[in-house]
Structure 1
Amino acid sequence: MEPTELPSLPDARFAGLLAEAQALQPRTVELRRAIHRRPEQGLELPETQQTVLRALEGLPVEIIRGTSVGSVTAVLRGGLPGPAVLLRGDMDALPLTEETGADYASELEDSMHACGHDTHVAMLASAAHLLARHVDELAGSVVFMFQPGEEGYHGARHMIHEGVLDAAGSRVERAFALHIYANAPTGQLLCRPGPILASADRFDVLVSGKGGHGSAPHHAIDPVPAAAAMVGALQTMVTRRINVFDPAVLSVTRIAAGTTSNIIPETAELEGTIRTLSERARARIREELPRICEHVGEAHHCRVSADVEPGYPVTANDPAMADRVLELAGEVLGAERAETMAEPLMGAEDFSYVLQRVPGAFAFLGACPPGTPPEEAAPNHSNRVHYDEDALPHGVAMYAAFALDALRAPAH
């Protein structure tokens, strides 16, 4: 299917959005810090959910709470009938103990907003306030998707199953999400057409032999050399079975076997991750991995159980939507702040589930701490990561611009 041509709007339509977003900065920062202090993990986020609901009080939005997960969906209906557009902000935290030294640091041990989801929630809530002021300019509805469980819990898929894409009464036609990024200059928006993030599957391999004394391996069936051979065979598989122009990463991240120095163990375990940028390469590795491990195990007289657990799909931007997001960034934030990413990142995102169903785009928003070179800043998922809050109005303005652009009233 050919990408939809998206006509540009006059610059004046977006001229004041960044200033309006900056005026909302005290509200945005207050909400961000409140959520940051009380991080919650997984699919049920009762305190965060209540904080979001309070942040939306007084707005002309229809609220839908999740039934199987702790989500919040808010629908803002425009002054004219039209299609629906979706804006997503994820809400969950990570199992880390914060060491940033911030005066609003997490109050909970082993829980921290180390991936910036607190900033996503705050930006999206402020975008709802901003768009409510422009409701008469919207020919259609905006669906605000406050999502739990992005960090490995498939929260977006749960919300899709509960009907978030149909929350406005008609199917969402376009979707947009931002992700804060400490390793880019503050206020810079990065996007690209096609794949922007990888798929993420995990694998577990159990190698079973026969235990024995370390001094007499010929009386045992040692699973350790079999497991070691699998590591090399899997790396060779990636370089010999996968097209070099269709990138894939396979990393064995855990090997476990044995209890002491003079005992050959009964079993050995391998665990790791698979990242690809296409469903073709993903399917090939998922097919090859068990076959290779089983055959290597057979060569060592070991039994093998290899399992690949599907994770998030490839996050692939609609080309026309990605190009339009970059154009909007140039108009709203300034041409110097819009950058096309040269290559994807091999991390993963469950906004991929939305983009499988709806044309849309996922973009990164730079928030490097002042005085720190971007390449030296603590990255996402570090317990020392710090985001420059001066970036937040740029995200608020971009959320609003995407909705205003997608729901522009027809010319008379």
Structure 2
Amino acid sequence: MTRFDAAAELLRDDLIAVRRELHATVEVGLDLPRTQAILLRELEGLGLEITRGAALTSITAVLRGGRPGPVVLLRGDMDGLPITERADESFASTSGAMHACGHDLHMAGLLGAVRLLVARRDELPGTVVFMFQPGEEGYAGGRVMIEEGVLDAAGERAVAAYAIHVDSATPFGQLVTREGSMMASASALRMTLHGTGGHAAFPHLAIDPVPVAAQLILAVQTFAARRLPATDQAVISITRLGSDSAAGNVLASAVTLEANIRTLSMTTLDAVRTQLPTMLVGIAEANGCRLDAEFIASYPVTYNDPAETREVLAVLDELLGPERVTRLPEPSMASEDFSYVMQEVPGTLVFVGAATASGPTPMHAEHTVFDDGVLPLQASLLAELAWRRLARG
């Protein structure tokens, strides 16, 4: 029976140090050269087959075990967010970008799993692909890495994929996951509403798109409540609104709007994609306006394969005890581009609590903080999940 927790504890100081270095060196998007350089330095000399991305600064590292077996993939994302950090940390970022979603811990935790598995390479019953991925925060870096061949980097398709995501709002060391839909899809509807513009004193001589835009906003909310089943809802929010009026006494000739759309099934996503623009175009035309609408599909539903997730839950229960493992009753409406991987390979995304002793903080905030003492647990669980899946064949 494998147990990596004792070996992972010996890596604690090194993992915390590299996490803090990564936190202070945060970069945004698909091009993360300084982050990539730190990771390559940490992977050097471990006997891995390393490939760098072409369209992004990704790293794919392949570890071939000493015993025959299948291929398993472990993922850690690399990018930060364009947030100015306000957290009181000695290693806080000063660049105007911030690791406010814990990707610095994801990289350090995955590095820990690399070291744990490399140390037992001769016994390893198969191959592990380590996926260090830029561009999770809205740039679809996972999709780009798949296009560049990460799922087949070992010469054959991975049979399972796992990722652990830290959470600053969940009690330290608590594990959270569920079978089936884990996180929502994320899409957008970008719209431009055209009127004619005119003098603010004479609205009857113009077609003013602003009050029509207000009707569209209300219609979006009504759509979710009345067009979709209560058992398979969507969250639709107007996140951007602006006009081309440059003066207070000028009626706008155009208004721009953007709706952010979250769904938990393809059925609901298809209904929103086809029905919502049609309804909004009709409202615009009824008011003498023209609406240009573009639907932009982004991340799919993050779907935890039920069979793989039952195995994962059994391992977590065994290692930590059922009281440390939460079966999430409902999916989260946030999204994750690990969803692209799990569209192709059965797998599981698990959250681990990293709230500090001073209490939880929200994610994606300027004052988000994580307890990086969670790193040995994160590293050992990633290594354990990979090993157990390989041993199953």
Q: Give the TM-score taking structure 2 as reference length.
A: 0.97
CA contact (8 A) 1:88 1:147 kept: yes
The aligned counterpart of 2:367 is 384
The aligned counterpart of 2:386 is 403
The aligned counterpart of 1:276 is 263
Deviation track 1:242-274 (CA, whole Å, cap 9, x = no partner) reads 111012100012221233332211111211200
Of the candidates 361, 373, 390, which is equivalent to residue 348 of structure 2?
Answer: 361
Give the distance between the partners of 2:81 and 2:317, measured in 1 at CA: 33
Secondary structure of residue in 2 paired with 1:312: coil
The aligned counterpart of 1:48 is 35
CA contact (8 A) 1:252 1:270 kept: yes
Give the distance between the partners of 1:157 and 1:330, measured in 2 at CA: 32
The aligned counterpart of 2:253 is 266
Secondary structure of residue in 1 paired with 2:273: helix
Give, in angstroms, the shift of residue 390 of structure 1: 1.6
The aligned counterpart of 1:197 is 183
Give, in angstroms, the shift of residue 409 of structure 1: 7.1
Of the candidates 106, 124, 134, which is equivalent to residue 93 of structure 2?
Answer: 106
Give the distance between the partners of 1:295 and 1:389, measured in 2 at CA: 52
Give the distance between the partners of 1:18 and 1:339, measured in 2 at CA: 20
Give the distance between the partners of 1:60 and 1:403, measured in 2 at CA: 18
The aligned counterpart of 2:289 is 302
Superposition pairs for residues 165-204 of structure 1, below 5 Å? 165-204=151-190
Give the distance between the partners of 1:382 and 1:352, measured in 2 at CA: 23
Superposition pairs for residues 133-172 of structure 1, below 5 Å? 133-172=119-158
Amino acid at match of 1:400: A
The aligned counterpart of 1:245 is 231
Secondary structure of residue in 2 paired with 1:98: coil
| Unmatched runs of 5 consecutive residues or more in structure 1 | 1-12
Deviation track 1:311-370 (CA, whole Å, cap 9, x = no partner) reads 100000001111222221122233321111111111111100000000100111100111
Aligned residues: 392
Secondary structure of residue in 2 paired with 1:362: strand
Give the distance between the partners of 1:172 and 1:369, measured in 2 at CA: 35
Amino acid at match of 1:87: L
CA contact (8 A) 2:23 2:98 kept: yes
Identity of aligned residues (%): 46
Give the distance between the partners of 1:216 and 1:143, measured in 2 at CA: 66
Q: Structure 1 residues 226 and 409, CA, compared in 2 at 3 Å: closer, same or farther?
A: closer
Give, in angstroms, the shift of residue 222 of structure 1: 0.8
CA contact (8 A) 1:222 1:265 kept: yes
CA contact (8 A) 2:112 2:380 kept: no
Amino acid at match of 1:98: E
Give, in angstroms, the shift of residue 210 of structure 1: 1.1
Give, in angstroms, the shift of residue 103 of structure 1: 0.3
Amino acid at match of 1:121: M
CA contact (8 A) 1:139 1:407 kept: yes
Give the distance between the partners of 1:100 and 1:338, measured in 2 at CA: 29
- Does residue 83 (structure 1) correspond to residue 85 (structure 2)? The answer is no
Superposition pairs for residues 287-366 of structure 1, below 5 Å? 287-366=274-353
Give the distance between the partners of 2:156 and 2:261, measured in 1 at CA: 36
CA contact (8 A) 1:137 1:408 kept: no
Amino acid at match of 1:103: S
The aligned counterpart of 1:116 is 102
Secondary structure of residue in 1 paired with 2:298: strand
Give the distance between the partners of 1:263 and 1:402, measured in 2 at CA: 62
| Unmatched runs of 5 consecutive residues or more in structure 2 | none
Deviation track 1:63-120 (CA, whole Å, cap 9, x = no partner) reads 1111121011111111112210000000001101111010011131x21111110000
CA contact (8 A) 2:62 2:129 kept: yes
- Does residue 69 (structure 1) correspond to residue 52 (structure 2)? The answer is no
- Does residue 17 (structure 1) correspond to residue 9 (structure 2)? The answer is no
CA RMSD, Structure 1 to Structure 2 (Å):
1.2
Secondary structure of residue in 2 paired with 1:408: helix
